[in-house]
Amino acid sequence: MTERPDPHEHLRSRIAAATRATSPAELHAIQLVPPKNRAHGDASFGAFALAKLRGLAPPQLAAEIAAGVAPDDVIESVTATGPFVNARFRRSALARHVVLGALRGDPPFGPAPASGKSIVIDFSSPNIAKPFHMGHLRSTVIGAAIGRIWRHLGATVHGINHLGDWGMPFAKMMTAWMRWGDPQELQKAPMRHMFELYKLYTAKAKDDPALDAEAAKHFQALESGADNEERRMWKFLRDESLAAFQGPYDRLGVAFDHVTGESFFEDKMEAAMARVTAAGVLEVDDGAEVVKLDAQGIKVPCILRKSDGTTLYHTRDLAAAFWREAQYRPDRILYVVGAEQKLHFDQLKAVLARMKEPLADRIEHVPFGLILAKNEETGKWEKFASRGGNAIFLDEVLDEAVANVRRVITEKNPGLAGADRVAEQVGVSAIVFNDLKNSRIKDVKFDWEQMLNFDGETGPYVQFAAARLSGILRKSDVALDAGAELGATLDWNLLADAEEVLLTMLDFGTTLERAADQSEPSIVTGFTIQLAGSIHAYLRDHHVLRAEPAVRDARLALVAAARRLLHVGLGLLGVGAPDEM
């Protein structure tokens, strides 16, 4: 037995030994789940799959396991309830495992060694020359969190910003600029001016089809590869936009491994088209080149080249998929893009499937819901961007959150040192946390009061729990960054009364695996809320600093370990945790 066995791993190997399970299929069938009712035990094993492999009735196998796994240093008791085996761990072994593990940063509490997995995440990906809007905020925070979780689990992650910097949407911007642009305004506030131009274009293009025709011409000129006015404009708008996006990215603590937007594939689309042709699935339809997808159950064909010879969003996504396959050998390519683009990704996948490309199975659209804001007049929740018909600039939203938090601090903790820094951290985090709180497919209600509530299931609530733990450590002689030495001479039995906290912490590994598997950061968010709740509850009933020395030491180690793990969990979500707030 190792010095500090993982209770779950230990139980699995004891079950394997008791059932003489050796084949991969049998071992795979030994999966633990949290018991439906904690009174039944700490971990539960449903004997169904293994019983099936053995041709036994599940209750019979469960009973055999319960009889065959005798208590040891880690396992206190094993019982069978129908087809389920329920185990209870010794409190000392449980406490030792999670507290030392968290303090040392051993996996899963700290990062795992390289797993050999390669995960590509296409996220954020705003369109240039337009403000960074709320939908891109969601993609940015969800994608970044998924990336951090996979990295923590040992995967090689390629986070890609697939900027919308090519094609018709961009050509429309360019048209607007060429017609109505004002160099002085652009100088003053580039993104704002471009947004005004964009609104103007949208309004005028409604009754003036000549505008779209003009945009198509500009795009053709850009895509011709010539060194012309279009290309200079493109470069200029791209540089300005990238500089403008960097502000929010820095504040959100988000970085990319590759910024390869649509324009990056300008010279890679021909090869992609050749591959589609070679696969024999490209057809000419009304002058355009398309792949029909009826057999895949998709009525709308995928257009890869227009009759004027220009390429499309799909053409670039196809070239990008091939590029990513060749460069990164990905196990999965995740596209964190709003649910409204479902058809686009269904088509992309279907084209690859028709081409019999194995890549088709690796492509996954990771959709998410809208951000809604309350219409003050009607009281209804509406799409955020439509508020008053005005654009919402992400930076302004972040500023508003920070100002709100600053006000709360002035009220509640006027003497706080570094109050501006804390307000920035807590304000930005509140928005991120609010976004990652519910399963991503749900719409997010943007409700200041709710989001900044220190008692709700919010970022500030979890941050406050972490700050409270920091406060306890500050008042003791334990350094905030103390490590495993804290647990060197403890009597682990003294933490038996903290089983809620310990069992919550024990679930961290499976929490991360589920979150990665389902591309669902909300599972990690839920974990941090639960850990914050259980440690708050524990501290309500148990003194730390005033306990007698041996108990005090054990509880301080628990406090330090829980604080560490809250920081790890919040960090994976992209949320910082101040030591005081």
Instruction: State the DSSP code for 415.
Output: T
How far is Cα 304 from Cα 317, in angstroms, rounded to an integer? Answer: 10
By C-beta, is 337 or 570 nearer to ligand ARG?
Answer: 337
Residue ranges in 164-193 that form contacts with ligand ARG under rule CB under 6 A: 164
Dihedral of alpha carbons 22, 26, 29, 30, sign: negative
For β-strands 332-336 and 118-122, DSSP reports them as parallel
**Residue 214 found at the interface with ligand ARG (CB under 6 A):** no
Least separation in angstroms between residue 96's CB and ligand ARG is: 46
Closest CA to 349 of 341, 357, 340, 337: 357
Please tell me the distance from the alpha carbon of residue 76 to that of residue 499, in angstroms, as a whole number.
14
Minimum gap (Å) between residue 209 Cβ and ligand ARG = 24
Under 8 Å between Cβ of 362 and 333: yes
Indicate the residue among 267 and 491 with the shorter CB distance to ligand ARG: 267
Give the burial class of 481: count Cβ atoms within 10 A of its Cβ; 0-12 exposed, 13-18 middle, 19 or more buried. exposed
322 vs 538, beta carbon nearer ligand ARG: 322
Residue with the CB atom nearest ligand ARG in the bound state: 164
Sites for ligand ARG among residues 329-348 (CB under 6 A): 335, 337
Identity (one letter) of the amino acid at 458?
Answer: T
CA pseudo-torsion sign 173, 121, 365, 247: negative
**Residue 53 vs 298, nearer CB to ligand ARG:** 298
- Shortest reach from residue 277's CB to ligand ARG, in Å: 22
Count of residues near ligand ARG by CB under 6 A: 10
To which residue do tokens 């990008």 refer? 320
How far apart are alpha carbons 107 and 112 in whole angstroms? 5
377: left (phi over 0), alpha (psi -120 to 50) or beta: alpha
Question: Binding to ligand ARG (CB under 6 A): which residues in 283-322?
Answer: 317, 320
Tell me whether residue 127 or residue 140 sits nearer to ligand ARG (CB atom).
127
Nearest distance in Å: CB 127, ligand ARG: 5
State the residue for tokens 């633990």. 32
Give me the residues paired with residue 334 across strands.
Answer: 121, 364
| Shortest distance in whole angstroms from residue 340 CB to ligand ARG | 9
Tell me the C-alpha to C-alpha distance, in Å, between residue 275 and each of 132, 228, 251, 268. Answer: 34, 30, 41, 11
CB of 422 to ligand ARG, least distance (A): 33
CA dist 24 to 16, 21, 28, 161, 510, Å? 11, 9, 6, 39, 20
CB of 172 to ligand ARG, least distance (A): 14
Least Å distance, CB 382 to ligand ARG, is: 20
- CA–CA distance, 565 with 207 (Å, rounded to integer): 58
Q: Which is nearer to ligand ARG, 256 or 492 (CB)?
A: 256
Q: Name which of 129 and 155 has its Cβ closer to ligand ARG.
A: 129
**Least CB distance to ligand ARG at residue 446 (A):** 19
CA 398 to chain centre: 19
The three-class DSSP label of residue 121 is strand
Q: Smaller CB distance to ligand ARG: residue 84 or 335?
A: 335
Residue 465 has which token pair?
């729990």
Q: How far is the CB of 121 from ligand ARG (least distance, A)?
A: 10
Which residue has tokens 């689309």?
Answer: 269
Exposure class string for 152-191: b at 16+ Cβ within 10 A, else e: bbebbbbbbbbbbbbbbbbbbbbbbbeeebeeeebeeebb
Pattern 150-169, ligand ARG, x by CB under 6 A: ------------x-x-----
Q: Which residues of 215-227 are buried (b: 16+ CB within 10 A; e: fewer)?
A: bbebbebbbeeee
Q: Which residues within the stretch 92-131 sit at the binding site for ligand ARG (CB under 6 A)? A: 122, 125-127
What's the closest the beta carbon of residue 164 comes to ligand ARG, in angstroms?
Answer: 3
Q: Which is nearer to ligand ARG, 204 or 344 (CB)?
A: 344
Q: Which residues are registered as beta bridge partners of 365?
A: 335
Which CB sits closer to ligand ARG, 234 or 464? 234
Q: Which of residues 460-519 bind ligand ARG (CB under 6 A)?
A: none
Based on the shown chain and the rule CB under 6 A, indicate whether residue 523 belongs to the binding site for ligand ARG.
Answer: no
Q: Given the complex with ligand ARG, which of 12 and 314 has the nearer CB atom?
A: 314
Q: Which is nearer to ligand ARG, 348 or 575 (CB)?
A: 348
Interface with ligand ARG, residue 393, by CB under 6 A? no
Nearest distance in Å: CB 272, ligand ARG: 14
Nearest-approach distance from CB 385 to ligand ARG, in angstroms: 12
Question: Which residues in this chain contact ligand ARG in the complex, by CB under 6 A?
Answer: 122, 125-127, 162, 164, 317, 320, 335, 337
